[in-house]
Amino acid sequence: MLRNRLLSSNPMLRSSHTSMLERVVFVLNFFPPYNLACWLWIRLCTRLAPSAAFPGRASWWLMQRAFLFGGLRHLSPEDRTAFAKAIVVPALARTSPAIESDPATRASVAELSARGFVALGPLLSSADAKAAVDYFCSQDGYASQTPLQSDGVPRKCDPQKLLGEGQERYFCFSSQTSLACPQVADLLSDGRLRKIAAGYLGFTPVMYSVNTIVTNEGNDAHYVMRMHRDQDAFACVTFFVCWTAVAARNGATIYVPRSHVSSDVDVSRPTYLEGNAGDVFCVDTFGLHSGNREVTGPRFATWIRFGSAPNLGTVQDPDLVPDHQFA
């Protein structure tokens, strides 16, 4: 389906801020000629921006109406970075300037900029992580990696039962369910994540996606278990919260260092983002990464995305954070 039935049949997951124009643009993203036209516009405007104001103003006008994001699938990391620096960041820095930083934030941003990811360590205790797992196990969710990809039928989170029934290797929850988790709320309340995101992106971003995922053991390979780039926006960053420990042979996300800014990387030498329960990673997911096929037990994690909005994620996915985040 072009757009999951969740959009119209499940009011808990309906995105009221998605306009008719944005829905039309979403459908356009399925057509290669449109995506190629976006790519050509982006390349041209990046070259013209230093000497003329019109390319920047016109590009920003189009992006505010959800156009141009189709070009992301054709952009190299170098081209995406150049367009962001020339067009996106200057426009957003004027309207939403970055938050005042501190030495710890600047150190995290420096490592994130260099490698494409940074381990922030245990921002939550192991007891908090266990409490979060217990919370999600008591909630209804959906048998897929995101609610958009699911059949829209709520199910209880019982990893062993779902595995026995041959369901998807992934199970997830609505953003409202994730945001209602006390540990997620505590993590967001002190502003540390947004401060790191702002320092990295160069403007104060909005939080536009929150999703909690349970990964089950199994032999099937979901498409996100292949190397890919997340093509949400021209400037965005993702935090991964580990509610259970992850290792190279147990669910750790796989990432190719420096692939967020360079095409000249060695894909055969990725890094495993290994950590304990309560650890948090900050990742530029335009860099090459994949889910881990090897999982020895249910792996619980939450992603929290910050960036500019609207973007391709806000247009295509009806399960989003509450609309006030976009004010």
pLDDT mean over 250-275: 97
Taking the C-alpha atoms of residue 86 and residue 45, their distance in angstroms, rounded to an integer, is: 9
Provide the H-helix boundaries in 49-191.
54-63, 77-83, 89-95, 103-115, 126-137, 159-164, 175-179, 182-189
Please give the pLDDT value at position 135: 97
User: Which position has the higher pLDDT, 176 or 16?
Assistant: 176
Which contiguous run of DSSP H or E holds residue 198? helix 192-201
Lowest mean pLDDT among 112-126, 251-265, 285-299: 285-299
Average pLDDT over residues 182-191: 95
Residue 205 near residue 308 (C-beta atoms within 8 A)? yes
**Domain map of the chain by residue range?**
6-95, 103-326
| 321 pLDDT more than 70 | no
- Please give the pLDDT value at position 17: 52
Of residues 196 and 15, more confidently modeled: 196
Q: Which residue has the higher pLDDT, 2 or 82?
A: 82
The answer to whether 285 and 233 have CB atoms below 8 angstroms apart is no
**Highest-scoring range by mean pLDDT, 50-59, 63-72, 128-137:** 128-137
CB neighbours of 89 closer than 8 A, spacing ≥ 6? 201, 202, 203, 235
d(CA 299, CA 312) in angstroms, rounded, equals 27
Higher model confidence: residue 6 or residue 298? Answer: 298
Q: What is the mean pLDDT of residues 245-267?
A: 96
pLDDT value of position 163: 63
Tokens standing for residue 33: 């000629």
Find the mean pLDDT for residues 18-29. Answer: 78
Helix (H, G, I), strand (E, B) or coil at 74: helix
Tell me the chain's radius of gyration from C-alpha atoms: 19
More confident of the two residues 324 and 73? 73
Predicted confidence (pLDDT) at residue 12 exceeds the cutoff of 60: no
Residue 78 near residue 263, CB atoms below 8 Å: yes
Does 1 have pLDDT greater than 50?
no
Please give the pLDDT value at position 9.
Answer: 40
* Contact present, 143 and 155 (Cβ < 8 Å): yes
pLDDT bucket at 7, cuts 50 / 70 / 90: very low
Average pLDDT, the chain: 88
C-beta of residue 173 within 8 angstroms of C-beta of residue 211:
yes
Mean pLDDT is highest, among 62-66, 167-171, 209-213, for: 209-213
Question: Which secondary structure element, helix H or strand E, spans residue 195, and what is its range?
Answer: helix 192-201
Give me the pLDDT at residue 21, please: 77
Q: In what order do the strands lie in the sheet with 253-255?
A: 271-273, 253-255, 289-290
Q: Is the CATH number of domain 103-326 1.10.1330.10?
A: no
Which has more confidence, 303 or 143? 303
pLDDT at residue 170, rounded to an integer: 87
- pLDDT at 5 (0 to 100): 40
Best mean pLDDT range from 164-178, 211-225, 285-299, 304-318 = 285-299
Mean pLDDT of 311-316: 81
C-beta of residue 214 within 8 angstroms of C-beta of residue 172: yes
The SS3 call for residue 190 is coil
